[in-house]
Amino acid sequence: MKPFRGWQKIAGIFRKRERKILPRRREVQPAEAGGRELEELVLLPLNGIVLFPHTMVPLFITYKPGIAAIEESLGRDLRLFAACVMDAAGPFQGFSLCGTVVRIVQRLRLPDGSFRVILQGEYRGTITDILHGPAVPSGTKKGTEKAAGPAYTLVQVEAIHSPPAETNSALVQAVQRSFALYAELSKKIGADTAAAVEKAENPERLANLISNAMAVKAEKKVELLSIAGAEKRLEAVLETLELENEIYSVHKNISGKVKSRLEKNQREYILQEQLKEINKELGKDKTEDEYADLEKAIAARNPPDEVMAKAQKEINRLRKLQPFSPEAGVLRSYLEWIADLPWNEFSSDSADPDKAEKILEEDHFDMRKAKDRILEFIAVRQLTADTGKDGRVPGIKGPILCFVGPPGTGKTSLGKSVARALGRKFVRISLGGVRDEAEIRGHRKTYVGALPGKIIQSMRRAGTMNPVFLLDEIDKLSSDFRGDPASALLEVLDPEQNSTFTDHYMELAYDLSGVLFIATANSLNGIPYPLLDRMEIIEIPGYGENEKLAIAKQFLVPKELEENGLGRAKLSFTDESLREIIRHWTMESGVRGLEREIARALRRIAREAVKKHHGPGAEKSLESFKRLIRRGDLEKLLGRRKYKKDLVFKEERIGVTYGLAWTETGGAMLPVETRAFAGSGELIITGNLGDVMKESARIALSWLRSVTENYKFYLDIAKTDFHIHVPEGAIPKDGPSAGITLASSLLSTLCRKAPRPGTAMTGELTLTGRILPIGGLKEKVLAAIRNGMDKLLLPGDNREDWEELDKDIREAIPVEFVENAEEAFVHLFGTGIQRKPRAKKGKAADSANAEEEKNCG
C-alpha cells in the first residue's frame, strides 16, 4: 500500500460540505423494498485499491488514516467501510462514494505501529453521510491552532441491493467462458480463483470474483462495483472481459511474430555455421563464391586497370577477415560501390538538332541564348561523330554552363529539357545551404557510416558516364569549420581536372569529363571568383508582360487545368484577365507567382463546378462545365489587388527622382528624396544604403559643387545641409548605378525645379560627370514598365544591350541615351536651370536669348 497523501485537505472539504451535500439519514428502509438499516462505519481509505464482497484480501496498512481506522474498528465489531481513493477531482475530492463493507478476519500489529490485516468483503454500499472526521489546522497567523479532531472518519453507509430476478444461465456461462479465456491469455489468475469462478452460480458472487481478479484500472473496478442490477452488472463484466481478451490477443499476436522472427534468424545463423563446416569438409566455401561473384560484377563494368587492381586487392583483404567483423562490412560496402558505379557506360547523344530544338521550344518560351548554346553543342558532337573504343568523342569535353537569373524564370526545368533534348540521363543535386565539404567529396571510409559525396552518389543513380548534371542554387553554398564546399567544386567544374576527380570515400580517380554540368544561380555575387571563372555564364533574364502572357497561355494555364482536375472542362482566360493578373497580382521577373495566382483562381472555379454537380460520378459531366474568366471576375476569384504603384508620384515634386535597381528577384524602382536646410554643407544619407551607394551620393554632391557656375542654384551649397533618403528603409540597397539619380535629386533641390514626372533613370556617375554603363538592363527596364514610367534615361554605352532586347519591350517605353550628367539634366529639367551665357552683341545675342527663353518655357 502506498501512503495516502492529501488526507487533511480532503477531510476538511468533507467537513465543510457535511451539512450541505448529504442529509443525515438514520431511518430504516422498508423490508419489502429489500432495504437494510443504515450503518455507521469507520472509513478505510485505500489508495487505488477496490475491494469486492465474497473475497479475502491481505493488506499492509502503513499510513496514519488507515492505522487510525483499524484501531477504531477494534471497538466496532472489526467492521469497516473500504472505499477507493483516486485522483482528487469531483464533488468528493477523490473519494468514490461506492465501496465495500469489510470485516477484519486477521490482524497483526507490527513494531513500527502499522498493521498487517486480512479483510473479507461482506456487501456493497454507498456513503450517504459524513458523520465526523479529522480537524484540519487552519489560519495563517503564528500561534493560532485549532484542536485536533479524531484521526479517523465515520461515515453512514447504505447497502446496494440488486433487484431480485431470474438467473440468466446463458449470460453466466458466457461470462465464465470469457473469464477462462482471460485467465489463459493473461496467465495471472490463480487456480483457486479460476475454480471458484467456474463453480459460481450466483450472479452477484460471480461478478464480485471476476471483478476482483481482473487487472483493470481502479476507476473501472469502482464502476463495476456500483452497478445495482445483477444482470446489468454481469453484462458490464462480460464487456470488460471481452475488451481485455481482445487486447491480450493483439499483444500475443505481435509477440508471436517477433519471437518467430528471432527464432528464424537464430535458426538461419546456426544453419549457416553448420553449412560452413560442411563446405570446409567438402573443400567448398560459399563465402569464396560470394567474393568471386563480387569480383565478376566489378569486372563486368569494365573499369580502368587501376580500379580493377584496387578492387582485387581489397577482395583479397576481405578473404582474410572474419565475415562478421566490422572491417569486413566496411570493405564489402566499398566494393559494392565500385560494382554499382558506371565506369564505361555512355548514353548516345541525339544526332538531330532539329528534333532537339523542337523539344526545347515545346518546354520553354524564349531563352534564346541558352537554347542556342545547347544546339551548338549538339552540332559539334555531330561533326565529331568518330567515337573511340570507349564510346566517347575524342577531345570533346562536357561544357560547364551556369544559368543566372531571377527566381521563377525556368532555370531548373530548362536543365531537364536539355537532358531530354540530348537524350541523356538527368540528375540533380541541391546545393542550397550545403556547408560541409564532405557533402561533395564524401568521408573517408574509415569513419562509421561513411558514404561517397553527392557527386559519386548521383553518378551511380544516373548509371552512365555522360548524364546532364544539374547543380541547383550554386550561389547558396555556405562554409564553416567543416570546410568550404565551393572549393571542393573547383575540381568538379574544371574541364582540365574533372577527368581525375577523386572522392574521399572511393580513393580512386573518376572521370567526369563526359558530364554536362549545368549550374543555376540567382546572382553571381555569392559565387567565388575561381569557381565563377570555370563556368560559362548564360543569363536568363526576367520576362516582360507580353512574354508572361505567352507563357501563361501556352504553358501555365493548361498545366494548372490538368493539376486542378479541370482539364476536360471548357474553361479559358481572356488576354485582358491574364494581363490584369500580371500587372496587379504579381510583381516579379519570373512566372512562379503568376502560376500560383492562376492555380488559386482555378481552385475557386473547381469548387464552383463541384457545387453545380459537375464531375466524375456527378449529375453533370465535366465537359459540360463552361467558364470564360474575364477581367471583372478576378477580384471575386483572387481578392483585392496585391500591388499598387505607391512609390511613384505622377505629379511634379522637387527633390524626388526615380532610379532603377537590380535585385535577385528582378528589377525594382528606387525613389530618391532630398531636402535641404541651413547648415554647413553636411550630407546626411538614410535608407539602409550600402557603402558604394553612399560614395555615389558624395560623388554627386562633389560634382555639383564643381559646376556651381553652370546652374542657377537658389541655395548656397557651402552653407546648406542635404538629407538624402531612399524609401523602404528596411530593404538594404547598394550599388553605383544610382549615381545620376542622386545627382538629379540634389540638383532639383538646389535649383527648386521639379524634374519631369514619370521619368526613370540609371547610370553610374563619375567625378567628371560621365555616366558609365550598368548591368541588369532588362530587369530594370521591366521594372520601369511595370510601374508605369513614361520615359527612361540610359547610359550611352548600353545602346547595344538595348538593341538585344525584345521588340515589344523596346516599344513599350521611350528611351534617351545620355553620355554625361549635363545631357541627363536637359532631359529632366530643360535648359531653364542653366545660367545664361555672357551677353552677345547684335542680332546673334537677341536670337540666343529668345531661344533660351523658349526652352525655359
Q: Per DSSP, what are the bridge partners of residue 663?
A: 666
| CA–CA distance, 563 with 661 (Å, rounded to integer) | 36
Beta strand residue intervals within 309-466, DSSP E:
400-404, 426-430
- Residue by residue, what is the 3-state secondary structure of 270-326? HHHHHHHHHHHHHCCCHHHHHHHHHHHHHHHCCCCHHHHHHHHHHHHHHHHCCCCCH
Beta strand 115-132 pairing with 56-61: antiparallel
- The rounded Cα 551 to chain-centroid distance in angstroms is 29
| CA–CA distance, 504 with 447 (Å, rounded to integer) | 11
Beta strand 468-472 pairing with 95-109: unpaired
Beta strand residue intervals within 348-462, DSSP E:
400-404, 426-430
| CA–CA distance, 816 with 825 (Å, rounded to integer) | 12
Q: Are 495 and 397 in contact (CB under 8 A)?
A: yes
- Residue by residue, what is the 3-state secondary structure of 229-281? CHHHHHHHHHHHHHHHHHHHHHHHHHHHHHHHHHHHHHHHHHHHHHHHHHHHH
Q: Collapse the DSSP code of 185 into the 3-class scheme (helix H, G, I; strand E, B; otherwise coil) and give the result.
A: helix
Instruction: Please identify every residue annotated as catalytic.
Output: 737, 780
| CA–CA distance, 433 with 750 (Å, rounded to integer) | 49
Beta strand 426-430 pairing with 516-521: unpaired
Q: Per DSSP, what are the bridge partners of residue 104?
A: 119
Q: Per DSSP, what are the bridge partners of residue 795?
A: 818
Q: Collapse the DSSP code of 361 into the 3-class scheme (helix H, G, I; strand E, B; otherwise coil) and give the result.
A: helix
Q: What is the DSSP letter of 835?
A: P
| CA–CA distance, 537 with 558 (Å, rounded to integer) | 32
CB contact burial 503-517 (16+ within 10 A = b; e otherwise): bbbbebebbbbbbbb
Give the number of C-alpha atoms closer than 13 A to the C-alpha of residue 50, restricted to the C-beta side.
28
Q: Are 437 and 488 in contact (CB under 8 A)?
A: yes
| CA–CA distance, 147 with 137 (Å, rounded to integer) | 8
Work out the number of other CB atoms within 10 angstroms of the CB of residue 59: 19
Single-letter amino acid code for the residue at 354: D
Listed in sequence order, the DSSP H helices in 423-555 are: 438-441, 454-462, 485-492, 529-532, 545-551
User: Which residue bears the cell 452460480?
Assistant: 201
Q: Per DSSP, what are the bridge partners of residue 125?
A: 99, 159
Q: What are 671's three cell numbers?
A: 525613389
**Could you tell me which of 530, 543, 525, 517 has the C-alpha nearest to residue 402?**
517
Distances (CA, A) of 519 to 132, 428, 706, 832: 86, 10, 47, 53
**Could you tell me which of 95, 555, 226 has the C-alpha nearest to residue 361?**
555
Helices 230-282 & 286-300 angle (0-180, nearest 10): 80
Helices (H) and strands (E) in the chain, counts: 29, 24
Give the number of C-alpha atoms closer than 13 A to the C-alpha of residue 811, restricted to the C-beta side.
5
Residues in CB range of 254: below 8 A, 6 or more apart: none
